[in-house]
């Protein structure tokens, strides 16, 4: 299987003129890697004393998951909820990036932002319709207002472990690979 | 960890199930007591599944109040708090357990818990529900043989938790029978494992437990499953050892075969010894006369006829006995076996012989007289014997001894040197001629090799005694293998090859017309 994957990738390089749909990324170890790095950022934040605060309230997605409630939603709703949350996190981490003076924490923030982009790519590989929420986050359902960097990073971790993971586990493209 | 490239489309993947570590397993108490020991904070809380959540704390029964005094409140992040109804359960060691059970839970959000006793907070804790899972042990643990030596296949059914299958990690503990400790193999995100490196023909105990891996979900180790026993396959013969054994056996077989072939005659003689067949010695005894020896003797010329094969035997010498001595044996009525008393008298004759040969003429006359007497005696005992002896063409040997006194001491041993004169006649030479030649010391007319077909014969009356004092015993030796040199010189008489034994009485060659020793006739057989 690994050989076929490499050959497929090489084939894509040799034939750039023939765009093909991306292969579904169903291996959750990819997401686990992003979760680990998000935790590293949260741990690093606990040791930050100076230059690691927010100057304004930031909207972040709610991370609460009730399995019964989640299963009552359809795939589209689930996808939109996850993509909205990823967008909100991206906005919040961007504000942190601009206000952080701690170099180590800034590196973690940068890494987290890159991981959010990678997750969007993973969602695209799963043929999940791309969704961009409205520009204004005010009044969006399923959001929280937080005032500290620690809360932002905590939400970041919980959101990835919760809703994002549930979305990937339940993705129809990955269900076809398992069967 | 997965390798993530800058391009999301080039991510790689890993196998989902693999073993991690091997270590000695820790002790495993029951669930409640396990949590009491494993979780330092109060209340102790654990999620049993996607919906059930339980918290409890322990107090001494003596110090604990009624349950109404206690309140258990909880609140999720950014939500209002709620109260959980408490129940009381007895515990070991005089303890009480206050238990809160929730049927609806939320995950991936912080949960704040507070316990009050009469408005005094006694316990406070914040946790994430997805991180305090306490699962049931794996079910249907099965251990089977893989068909290979030193291996066992262990399989089980994971706890039925949706969305969490790939987050489960298992510990498989296996130990030999009688071994309280054991070894642990860790498996991640799979439901079977192959144990390797086990001892052959050994009974093993296998147990499995589970917990969540701690990345997305986490919790405590479950209790160990019920033990399952299985015996490994017996040891197979190493193909290398089998092939080496075969090669060595083959080489040893070849060596034995070579030794047998190189010494096959020896082994054949040992295993199948040659049974002597008397037919060759007694020609016609069995084929013609049916084994009747008496009849055979009657028909085969009588007397002590011996075939050439017997006489020509090379295996052992046959002592030739002097059949008679002239002086001492005169009174004997029976022929030819020499009385042993005659031997002693021959010593005196020997001495007389050594005195010189100038009396050769006298001796010759004496030998003739003795011979005449002997022939008469033989005629008496063997009436049938005629002159056939001398007329026989066979070679024969005559023994003669010097005159001796009856008073001489009798020597019993035949080994005594006897002053014997040996006359050897060839096959075609009459004895008389031979004797005359010998008495004069002249060359005989061809004594030499003895005929192999001659037989023992008594000298017939046709013999001419050589001289006084000689007792001739004409013996037609039919089996003597010795080569008599021609009697061309008197000196040669003492050097005849017949004398295989030591010459005891040294006689100067020029004075040694007579042979003075005992000899052995070696048969050619």
Would you say A33 and B2 are in contact if contact means Cβ atoms under 8 Å apart?
A: yes
Cα–Cα distance list, A82 to A34, B58, B391 (Å): 15, 41, 147
pLDDT of B483 over the 70 cut? no
What's the rounded Cα separation, in Å, for the pair B191 and B265? Answer: 74
Question: Which among A19, A65, A124 is the top mutation candidate for probing chain B, defined by the most B β-carbons within 10 Å of its own β-carbon?
Answer: A65
What's the rounded Cα separation, in Å, for the pair A24 and B11? Answer: 10
Contact across the interface for A166 and B163, Cβ inside 8 Å: yes
Helix (H) or strand (E) holding B252: helix B239-262
Mean pLDDT in residue range B53-66: 92
pLDDT band at B254 (very low <50, low <70, confident <90, very high): very high
Q: Is residue B48 packed enough to be buried (19+ CB in 10 Å), middle (13-18) or exposed (0-12)?
A: middle
Query: What tens digit of pLDDT does each residue of B275-314 get?
Result: 877 777 788 888 888 888 888 888 876 544 454 445 555 5
Query: What tens digit of pLDDT does each residue of B313-358 get?
Result: 555 555 565 565 555 444 444 444 444 444 444 444 445 444 544 5
pLDDT of B494 over the 70 cut? no
Query: What tens digit of pLDDT does each residue of B217-242 get?
Result: 999 999 999 999 999 998 877 788 88
Q: What is the pLDDT of residue B320?
A: 61
Which of the pair, B194 or B480, is modelled with greater confidence? B194
**Peptide bond before residue B43 is cis, with ω within 30 degrees of 0:** yes
Contact across the interface for A66 and B109, Cβ inside 8 Å: no
pLDDT band at B367 (very low <50, low <70, confident <90, very high): low
Which of the pair, A159 or B506, is modelled with greater confidence? A159
Which of the pair, B430 or B108, is modelled with greater confidence? B108
Q: Could you give the percent of chain B with pLDDT greater than 90?
A: 33
Q: What is the pLDDT of residue A122?
A: 93
Q: What is the pLDDT of residue B236?
A: 75
Name the least confident of A152-166, B107-121, B134-148, B363-377: B363-377
Q: What is the pLDDT of residue B321?
A: 58
Q: How far apart are the first and last CA of chain B?
A: 103
Q: What is the pLDDT of residue B207?
A: 96
Q: Which ipTM value was assigned to this complex?
A: 0.85
Contact across the interface for B12 and A2, Cβ inside 8 Å: yes
- Considering chain B, what is the average pLDDT of its residues? 70
Q: Which residues of chain A have pLDDT under 70?
A: 1, 4-5, 7-22, 51, 136-140, 176-179
Question: Could you say which DSSP state residue B27 is in?
Answer: P
Q: Is residue B92 packed enough to be buried (19+ CB in 10 Å), middle (13-18) or exposed (0-12)?
A: exposed
What's the rounded Cα separation, in Å, for the pair B399 and B321? Answer: 10
Query: What tens digit of pLDDT does each residue of B142-169 get?
Result: 999 998 889 999 999 999 998 998 899 9
Q: Could you give the percent of chain B with pLDDT greater than 70?
A: 51
Question: Which of B289-303, B430-444, B447-461 shows the highest mean pLDDT?
Answer: B289-303
Residue whose C-alpha is closest to residue B324's, from B404, B383, B417: B404
* Alpha-helix runs per DSSP H in chain A: 2-14, 28-46, 67-72, 75-99, 103-125, 149-159, 165-169, 172-178
* Closest-CA distance of chain B to residue A8, Å: 10
Mean pLDDT in residue range B115-141: 94
Which residues of B touch chain A, with CB atoms under 8 Å apart? Answer: 1-2, 4, 8-14, 50-51, 76-78, 104-110, 128, 130, 162-163, 166, 215-216
In this complex, the residue of B50, B78, B108 whose CB is nearest that of residue A161 is B108
A125 reaches B (C-beta below 8 A):
yes
Contact across the interface for B11 and A25, Cβ inside 8 Å: yes
β-pairing, B152-157 vs B139-145, is antiparallel
What's the rounded Cα separation, in Å, for the pair B43 and B57? Answer: 5
Question: Which among A21, A31, A66, A128 is the top mutation candidate for probing chain B, defined by the most B β-carbons within 10 Å of its own β-carbon?
Answer: A66
What's the rounded Cα separation, in Å, for the pair B158 and B209? Answer: 10
Contact across the interface for B1 and A29, Cβ inside 8 Å: yes
Q: What is the pLDDT of residue B32?
A: 72
Mean pLDDT in residue range B116-128: 94
Mean pLDDT in residue range B364-383: 62
What's the rounded Cα separation, in Å, for the pair A12 and A20? Answer: 8
Contact across the interface for A68 and B51, Cβ inside 8 Å: yes
For residues B299-335, one letter each, b for 16 or more C-beta atoms within 10 angstroms of the residue's C-beta and e for the rest, the string is ebeebeebbbbbbbbeeeeeebbbbbbbbbbeebeeb
Question: Which of B28-42, B77-91, B289-303 shows the highest mean pLDDT?
Answer: B77-91
Mean pLDDT in residue range B13-18: 45
In this complex, the residue of B9, B77, B106 whose CB is nearest that of residue A66 is B106
Which of the pair, B330 or B118, is modelled with greater confidence? B118
Would you say B439 and B362 are in contact if contact means Cβ atoms under 8 Å apart?
A: no
pLDDT of B250 over the 90 cut? yes
3-class secondary-structure state, position A39: helix
Contact across the interface for B2 and A29, Cβ inside 8 Å: yes
């Amino acid at each position: 299987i690994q050989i076929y994957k490499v050959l497929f990738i090489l084939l894509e390089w040799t034939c750039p003129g023939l765009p093909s749909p991306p292969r579904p990324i169903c291996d959750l170890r990819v997401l686990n890697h992003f979760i680990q790095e998000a935790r590293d950022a949260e741990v690093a934040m606990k040791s930050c004393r100076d230059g690691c605060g927010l100057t304004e309230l930031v909207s972040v997605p709610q991370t609460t998951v009730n399995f019964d409630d989640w299963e009552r939603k359809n795939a589209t709703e689930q996808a939109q909820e996850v993509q909205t949350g990823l967008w909100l996190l991206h906005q919040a981490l961007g504000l942190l990036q601009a206000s952080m003076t701690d170099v180590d924490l800034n590196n973690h923030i940068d890494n987290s932002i890159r991981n959010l982009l990678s997750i969007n790519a993973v969602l695209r590989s799963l043929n999940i319709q791309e969704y961009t929420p409205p520009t204004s986050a005010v009044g969006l359902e399923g959001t929280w207002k937080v005032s500290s960097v620690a809360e932002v990073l905590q939400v970041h971790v919980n959101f990835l472990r919760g809703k994002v993971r549930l979305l990937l586990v339940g993705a129809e493209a990955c269900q076809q690979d398992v069967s | 960890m997965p390798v993530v490239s800058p391009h999301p489309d080039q991510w790689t993947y890993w196998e989902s199930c693999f073993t991690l570590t091997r270590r000695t397993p820790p002790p495993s108490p029951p669930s409640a007591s396990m949590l009491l020991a494993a979780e330092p904070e109060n209340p102790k809380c654990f999620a049993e599944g996607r919906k059930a959540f339980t918290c409890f704390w322990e107090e001494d029964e003596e110090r604990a109040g009624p349950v109404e005094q206690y309140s258990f409140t909880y609140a999720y992040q950014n939500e209002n708090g709620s109260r959980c109804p408490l129940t009381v359960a007895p515990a070991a060691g005089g303890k009480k357990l206050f238990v809160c059970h929730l049927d609806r839970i939320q995950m991936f959000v912080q949960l704040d818990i507070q316990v009050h006793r009469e408005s005094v907070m006694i316990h406070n804790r914040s946790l994430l529900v997805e991180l305090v899972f306490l699962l049931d042990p794996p079910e249907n643990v099965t251990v089977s043989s893989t068909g290979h030596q030193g291996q066992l296949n262990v399989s089980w059914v994971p706890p039925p938790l949706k969305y969490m299958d790939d987050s489960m990690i298992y510990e498989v503990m296996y130990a030999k029978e009688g071994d309280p400790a054991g070894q642990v193999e860790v498996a991640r995100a799979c439901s079977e494992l192959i144990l390797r490196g086990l001892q052959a023909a050994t009974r093993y105990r296998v147990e499995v437990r589970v917990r969540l891996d701690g990345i997305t979900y986490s919790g405590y180790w479950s209790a160990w499953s019920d033990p399952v026993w299985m015996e490994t396959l017996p040891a197979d013969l190493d193909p290398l050892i089998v092939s080496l054994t075969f090669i060595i056996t083959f080489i040893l077989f070849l060596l034995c075969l070579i030794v047998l072939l190189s010494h096959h005659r020896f082994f054949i003689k040992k295993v199948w010894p040659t049974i002597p067949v008397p037919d060759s010695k007694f020609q016609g005894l069995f084929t013609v006369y049916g084994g009747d020896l008496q009849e055979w003797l009657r028909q085969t010329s009588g007397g002590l006829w011996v075939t050439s094969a017997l006489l020509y035997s090379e295996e052992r010498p046959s002592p030739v006995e002097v059949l008679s001595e002239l002086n001492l044996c005169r009174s004997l009525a029976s022929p030819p076996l020499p009385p042993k008393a005659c031997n002693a008298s021959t010593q005196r004759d020997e001495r007389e012989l050594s005195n010189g040969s100038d009396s050769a003429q006298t001796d010759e006359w004496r030998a003739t007289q003795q011979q005449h007497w002997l022939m008469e005696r033989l005629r008496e005992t063997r009436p049938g014997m005629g002159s056939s002896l001398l007329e026989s063409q066979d070679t024969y040997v005559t023994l003669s001894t010097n005159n001796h006194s009856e008073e001489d001491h009798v020597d019993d041993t035949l080994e005594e040197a006897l002053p014997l004169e040996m006359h050897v006649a060839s096959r075609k030479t009459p004895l008389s001629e031979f004797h005359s030649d010998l008495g004069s010391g002249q060359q005989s007319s061809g004594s030499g090799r003895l005929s192999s077909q001659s037989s023992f014969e008594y000298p017939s009356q046709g013999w001419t005694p050589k001289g006084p004092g000689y007792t001739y015993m004409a013996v037609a030796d039919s089996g003597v293998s010795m080569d008599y040199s021609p009697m061309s010189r008197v000196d040669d008489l003492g050097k005849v090859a017949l004398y295989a034994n030591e010459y005891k009485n040294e006689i100067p060659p020029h004075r040694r017309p007579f042979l003075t020793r005992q000899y052995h006739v070696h048969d050619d057989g």
